[in-house]
Structure formats: structure tokens, C-alpha cells
Chain A
Amino acid sequence: MNHTKQLDRRPLPTAASFTNWRRGCVLLLALLWLASVGQLRAQEDKPSEYQVKAAFLYNFGKFVIWPTNAFADAYAPLVIGVVGEDPFHGDLKRLVAHKKIDGHMVIIRTITSADQVKGCHIIFLSSAAQSSPSDLLAAVRQPGILTVTENLEHFTNSNLIINFVRLDNRIRFEINVPTADKAGLKISSRLLPLSKPAEK
């Protein structure tokens, strides 16, 4: 078994032409790296879009007054429904753990069908969930529910109440006040000025 192994690297036609180019690239990259390391300043890593939206959802709960019959009693939980696949990957659940709003514990419910909507106080309809079955989409638009969606084009006519938009890498939201009124929800005057007016 005296076979010989040939590990001589015979340059390929293509490889050869790349050699100089490669060397130049490596040098350039090294310089860029050095230049960037030079700038040592404290940086904060940014949270993800949905983590910030989760925090907004929790905060909205503090600025909305629900009709008196929305809670069975002072200890009944405030229910946030998330339609379809969870875009928060569990972060909303983690964020509201052990938190209370006006004495109400906050719980998160996954909504996949119309009959699960009952009992929710806030419902989040992610972009992906906007194509949910029509009976489910109809069911969320009922009195007593603060509906929150995102990146919706024709928001004003959507009969949904809050719409997240992204502006300059920040999360902003617009509020549909007439729809909120129709739903019997009173939105705090502190929240309204912060919202970007819904475009007509």
C-alpha cells in the first residue's frame, strides 16, 4: 500500500487570479478593523423591535380606562391577547411577569380563533396576523378591546385603535380616536399628544 498522497496545492486558474485581490482585501479589512477599534466609547446594544413594542403594549394598559364591566372585579387579570404566531418570542410574557396595572395582574393569551377573543382587554395583531381568518379579524373589533396593530397602510379605515409605525429606527404609534370612542375606551390625554396623528 505505497500509494502517495498529493497534497501539493496546485493553484487553480481561478484561484491564482484571486491571490493579489485577496491579499489586498485582507489588508483593507485589517485597517478598517484597527480604525474602528480606536473609537472606544460605551455603546448600548439595542433592544429588538418587538421588545420595545412589548413594553409599549404594557404601557398602553396604564393609559386606557376600560368600561366598568370589562373586569369582573378589582382582582381580575388584565388580558393581553396576541393573535397567531408570537412575534415577541415570549418576551411579552417575560416582560409582564409579576407586573400589575391598577392592581390587575397582566396575563398573555395566544389567540388562534374567534372564540378566544372574549375576555381580552388588549389585542395585538402583528403584520403576520393581519391575514388571519376573517371571522377572527371581525371578532377582535368589538367594544371593550384595545386593538393594537403595526405597519398597517389604511389604518384610519381599519376600525383598529392603535397602529405601530417605525420612524427613524424608533417605534412610534398612531391612535384612531373615533374608533376608541366607539369601543367605549377612554384613552388618557397624556397618551394622545405622543401619538403621531393618523393620516387621513
Chain B
Amino acid sequence: MNKTLGLRNFFRGRKWKFGTSWLLPVLMLVGTPVLAEDASNTSTNTDLTNLANMDIDQLMEVKVSILGSAQSVSQTPAAVSVVTQDDIQRSGARNIPEALRLVPGMDVAQVDANQWAVSARGFNDVFANKLLVMQDGRSLYTPLFSGVFWNEQDTMMEDIDRIEVVRGPGATVWGANAMNGVINIISKNAADTQGLLASGGGGNFDRAFGEARYGGMLGTNTFYRVYGAYSDNGATQLTDGSSANNPWQSFRSGFRIDSTPTEDNLFTLQGDGYVENIHQVFGVFDPASPTFTTSVQNLETADGANILGRWTRTLSDTANFKLQAYYDYTALDAAVIDEQRHTFDLDFHNEFALGERNHLSWGLGYRVTADQEKNNPTLTFNPTSETLNLYSTFLQDEITLVPDCLTLTLGSKFEHNDYTGFEFEPSARLLWTPVVHQTFWGSVSRAVRTPSRAEETFDLMQSEQYAPGHYAPVNIIGTNSYGSEDLIAYEVGYRTEPFDKLSLDIAAYFNNYDHLRSEQAIDGNPTQLAIANDLYGNTYGTEISATWRVLAWWRLQPSYTFLKMDLHARPYAPGLADNASVAQLEGTSPENQFSIRSSMDFSHGLSFDTSLRYVDYLSYFAINSYFELDARLAWQINKHWEVALVGQNLLHDAHAEFGPTYLGTQNGNITEIPRSVYARVTWRF
């Protein structure tokens, strides 16, 4: 036993040198009932009509809420940030992960040319599985492992209205997987994207890109837009400076139609499709090889399409409902995974005032996802095809205890999934605004992460080097006894505007996790591992951010994030505990992150933005802490033309941010992100 334990620890103490595992994470099909998304244009069409018909004397007496306005964030009892279109444009971000770097507290690491690791409050990985990510109400993470293939998620960056991010659990409304955060990417109403926009450019890393969008009208109250975007992206490099041979191209196209036939009805129909060619190097399991692995240069293809319809009806000043349905198809064909997936989702959401002090919201959701996996020597599924159902409902009440001062929000999600049955996710949140510009909030909430398809049904072969030159084949299997991961989160926050030109946002949390994913050696055999729930522990940390309008033309936004993870492995047999998973989880998220963004506007349409970030050491990959700098100089020549020059990661020729974990990309080698510069021309008409 001691011997095998030693062998196992030796295995797990190293990087996953040759493996290709796909493990993990979980699944969950969330019912995404509340799509914060159209909060601004749905809840209030009747309000607007009333307002429009009021005369000035009446308007003077209208009390305003803070919801739906710029101040809504300061009145939310959670750690919320909003990235606006302006922020995205000024940052020079060319994809969604880069835009997420703008959110205080997010941990965004580029792994290689086409993979990103994105998380909040720890547990980062390419297969990070504790975030719920949505685009216009459509879930973006794959039920395969409960994580997001970030390279497959994109849109025309100019058509994003804003990205709303909640750090911490949002499970009461959004359901399982909304454990450490919720990301909601919200695109503009078609009425706000009228006319022609064409943009293109290129550089050394973002080799060439071009996109075009046209928006017009279909009748008096119906607007539409169509877009197409292409990009050709360069390769990252290995530590010896050679190319990692992982360049990729993507093409996507889509449309959105918004119609308001009457003032209290809004209909939205939107859809996208994409095709990607991705060059990638994989370590593929090979029983005939002495190292049990063969390096394969693979041309992956990824494609997908989705269509979504939504009806938002305003019933009265205080009540509305929303009915949404979507269908989503994704396909991925790579050396170690070949999957096709169809998902259909139906959601209903309703809210109304109950008496003077209660604002109730509730929802119903159903999702079905069906997949078809093709087995390969590395990864097999049993069964190869599975259909999973998720039923969910939630109820939430926002209670005004003291008007304009103290608000309590209570609620819970209840859902049923095919793997673990019923789950409930309650929360209580208190918001206290003792004086204007001073807001305190606190919350206690429970969230779960339900098992993913992989964690329940996969069978993975990989090679591990247990001594120099000595390799062993290791088999990891998913099991149907694997259960949900649990979290009880305690959060507090404070927001203030001490001066007119300064706003400050502080959030702190203590998270208590149990039943986190681990691996158990079956019968003590370290080459036969089964997925289990043996890890537990706490994480705590704080996120501080500020906006300082130094001068009318100069804004500074510093932020600091601290994270401490204290996880443990519960012994599953005498003398056996999965301490290796603990070391991995604790070693893949930075303890300290710091960033400062400066935004300057000059005359003649010139603007200059810089962003400096610091990311702490990652022990699991032995990646040293680093500083990096991005800069953008833009000139709005006139209302039609804009040119911009963007530099990213300017401080190093190349630097590493993250490494491969389960998926054996680059045969387990870390790749480095090069310094990059690109130029872009945009024409609007």
C-alpha cells in the first residue's frame, strides 16, 4: 500500500506530462431564467408610455429607482461589475476572454493560441467548471465538462452592449454551475446597430481579421442586423522559441431582429453560425509506444449554429413576463475528442409586485441536451450517445424592509437533473444604504455544481511518467456514483463615492466547499482511477476596485484581487487521499492580482489607453509572476473613419500564463504568448 501510494503521489505530483485527459467537470444544464439582459428595455415599456405622457410638474414628483441606470450596480447585493462597449473598444480586446480581463477579480489566462482559462475566486483551468456563462440568455458552457470552449464563443465585439459579471454564487436565479460566478454577454438591440460598419486589420499575432455588419429596418417597428466576421490567428511559441504550431482561423455570421409591434411587446429573434479550423498538437494514447503516447499534429474543426427567440411582455408598471426558447448545435472533431451536441432550452420568467414591500420573481425552465460521441484510443464514452433533461424553477422575493435604506432578497432555485436528482440552491442577501453613495451588502448562499457528462461516463487513457524515462498507462473513469459539489458562500461588500470623482468597490468572501471532485485509486491501484467527491475546504479573498476621474479627460481604474485557497483531501481508504488534486487546484490560481487601467482623451478625436497587470506565481505550472502591459492609440478621424494601433503583452518577447492540464495539448508543454501589435481601420456609415 505504501509503495503504491508513493507511486501515485509521484504521478500526481508532476505535471500531466503526456496525458490527454479530458476530465471533467460538470454538467449542468441550467435553467437560465432571468436574463438580466433586457432588463433595461423590457420591464418598462409601460413606464415609458406613462412618463412620456406626464407633464413637467408630474415628472418632478416621480421617484426614481436605481435599477436599470448606471447606478444599478451600486445597489446590487452582490459583487457585480459591468464592462461596457466603450470599455471593450478602448481596451483593444479582440475576443471575449480579453474583454473579461477588464473585470476586477476575474482570472483570465491565455493558455495557447486558441485556449483560455477563465475563472473567478479560484479553481482556474482550461476546464474551469464553476462559472455560468451566457450570451443573450443562451448558455455557452458545454454539458460535456461544464466548462467553456472559449475559442468557439465570439461575436462582433462592436455589437456587444455590455458584459455583466457576478463574482460569487448566482445559483438562486441561474442554477447549478453558477457557483463562483455568472457571466452574461449582452448584445445590442438591432435598433442600436443601424447602418453599415466595416472593420479590418492585422498584425504579427492577430494576423488578419475583417468584419462587417449592416443594420436596417423591416417596417416601422422592426429592426434587423446581419454580420459576418473572419479572423486568422497566429501561433504561440514553445519555451525554446519554436512555433507551437497552433494557429487557427474562424468565420462566423449571424443576425438579430427586434420588433416592438406595440409598446408593451418586444420580440427578438437572433442566430449565429460559425466554422473554425484549429491547428493543435495533441498527445494521443498509444499502447504500442514505449511512452504510451504519440504526438499528433491535428487539424481540429469546430462548428456550430444556434437560433433563439424571445417574447417579452409588459403587463403593468410592476409586472412583466418573458418567454424564451433556443436551439443550439455544436460539433467538435479533434484527435482526442469527436462530439456532436444538440441542445433545446425553454424558459419562462415572471415578476410582479406583491403589496408595497415585496417584489416577487419566479421562473420555470426546461433543457434537453443530446450528444453523440465518437470513441478514440484516448477517450471513450459509455454510452456513446446520451440525452439529459433538466427541469428547474426558482422563486425570489425582494423585500423592502426600510424604503430606500434596507432591502432583503430571499429565494431559492429548485432543479432536477438526470444524474443527481433534485438540487436546491437558496440565498439570502441584504442591502443597506444608510446614506446616499454608501452601500453595504452581505449574503449567505448555497450553490452546487452538478456532474458533467464526462465525470459520469468517460473512460480516459493517458500516459504518466513516474520516473525519468519510465512511463505507465493510467486509466481514469467517470462513475455514476459521482455527486454534486457543494458550496456555502458568505459574502460582504461596500461601495462608496467619497468624492465626486472617485468611486470604490470592495467585496470579500468566505467560501466553504464540500464534495469537490477528486480521484480515487481503485483497490489502491494507482493506474486505475475513478472520479469521486473527496475534496473539501475553504477559500477566502477580497476584490477591490476603484474608478478615479483624475481630470475631465483622464480616468484611472486600479484593482486588486487577493485569493487564498485552503483545500483538503478526505481519505477514502486507510492511508489513501487525493492530495495531488489539492496541489493542482491550489496551484493554478494566482494569490494576488493587480491591474491599473488609464484612459485618456485628447482633442482631434485622439484617445490613448494603457493597462498594466500583475499576476502572481502559479505553483502547479511553476509559472513565475509577471507584469504585462497593453496599450491602444486611436484616432477618430471623423464620424466615418477610425484608426487604431494596439499593442498587447508589450513587456516581454513572450511569456507563459497557464499550462495544459487534462487535455494533452502540446504534449503537456507550456506555450508562451508573444508580444503582439495590430492595426485596425473601422468605417461606419
Query: Which A positions have Cβ atoms within 8 angstroms of B?
Result: 1-7, 9-10, 12, 14-15, 18, 22, 25-26, 29, 32-33, 36-37, 39-52, 54-56, 58-59, 63, 84-87, 89-91, 93-96, 99, 112-113, 115-116, 127-128, 130-135, 151, 153, 166, 169-172, 190-191, 194
Contact = CB atoms under 8 A, between A and B. Distances in A.
B63 interface: yes
B60 A58 contact: no
22 contacts: A5-B533, A7-B533, A15-B514, A36-B357, A36-B401, A37-B357, A40-B355, A40-B356, A41-B356, A42-B355, A45-B47, A49-B66, A49-B69, A52-B64, A54-B48, A55-B48, A84-B86, A90-B189, A90-B192, A133-B604, A169-B404, A194-B60
Nearest to A153: B500
Contacts, number: 235
B51 A95 contact: yes
B355 A41 contact: yes
A48 B64 contact: yes
A74 to B, nearest CB: 23
B424 to A, nearest CB: 13
Interface stretch (B141-149, B386-394, B477-485): B477-485
A152 to B, nearest CB: 10
Contacts of A40: 354-356
Contacts of B479: 3, 5
B63 A191 contact: no
Contacts of A91: 40-41, 44, 48
A140 B353 CA distance: 42
Contacts of A128: 70, 86
Quick one: which of B40, B51, B533, B551 has the most chain A CB within 10 A? Answer: B51
A52 B47 CA distance: 9
Contacts of A25: 428, 444
Quick one: which of A14, A33, A37, A89 has the most chain B CB within 10 A? Answer: A89
A10 B70 CA distance: 45
Contacts of A12: 512, 514, 536-538
Contact of B639 (A26, A58, A116, A172): A116
B59 interface: yes
Interface in B180-222: 189, 191-192
Nearest to B49: A95
Interface stretch (B270-278, B367-375, B515-523, B583-591): B515-523
Nearest to B188: A90
A171 B60 contact: yes
A14 B538 contact: yes
A99 B280 CA distance: 57
B76 interface: no
Contact of B515 (A3, A7, A113): A7
A169 B63 contact: yes
A86 B40 CA distance: 12
Contact of B69 (A37, A42, A50, A86): A50
Nearest to A58: B52
A51 B61 CA distance: 14
Contacts of B85: 85
Closest 4 CB pairs of A and B: A46-B65, A40-B355, A48-B68, A55-B51
A119 B401 CA distance: 49
B52 A55 contact: yes
Contacts of A47: 44, 47-48, 51, 62, 64-65
Contact of B41 (A36, A49, A90, A113): A90
Given A41-B356, A93-B191, A153-B500, A131 B555 contact: yes
Interface residues of B, number: 93
Contacts of B528: 1
A36 B553 contact: no
A4 B572 contact: yes
A41 B400 CA distance: 13
A99 B552 CA distance: 35
A8 to B, nearest CB: 9
B358 interface: yes
A127 B547 CA distance: 14
Contacts of B354: 37, 40
B397 interface: yes
B50 to A, nearest CB: 8
Contacts of A133: 553, 601-607
A15 B488 contact: yes
B288 interface: no
Nearest to A4: B572
Nearest to A38: B355
A135 B601 CA distance: 11
B532 interface: yes
Interface string B163-184: 0000000000000000000000
A78 B552 CA distance: 29
A51 B530 contact: no
Interface string B50-83: 0110111101111111111111100000000000
Interface string B14-35: 0000000000000000000000
Contacts of B189: 90
B117 interface: no
B410 interface: yes
A48 B66 contact: yes
Contacts of A33: 397, 399, 408, 410
Nearest to A37: B358
Contact of A32 (B51, B61, B408, B520): B408
Contacts of B549: 131
Contact of A29 (B64, B408, B533): B408
Contacts of A59: 54-56, 59
Quick one: which of A130, A132, A171 has the most chain B CB within 10 A? Answer: A171
B62 A113 contact: no
A18 to B, nearest CB: 8
A43 B552 contact: no
Contacts of A5: 479, 481-483, 532-533
Contact of B353 (A10, A45, A172): A45
B295 interface: no
B579 to A, nearest CB: 16
A172 B61 CA distance: 9
Contacts of B603: 133-135
Contacts of B84: 85
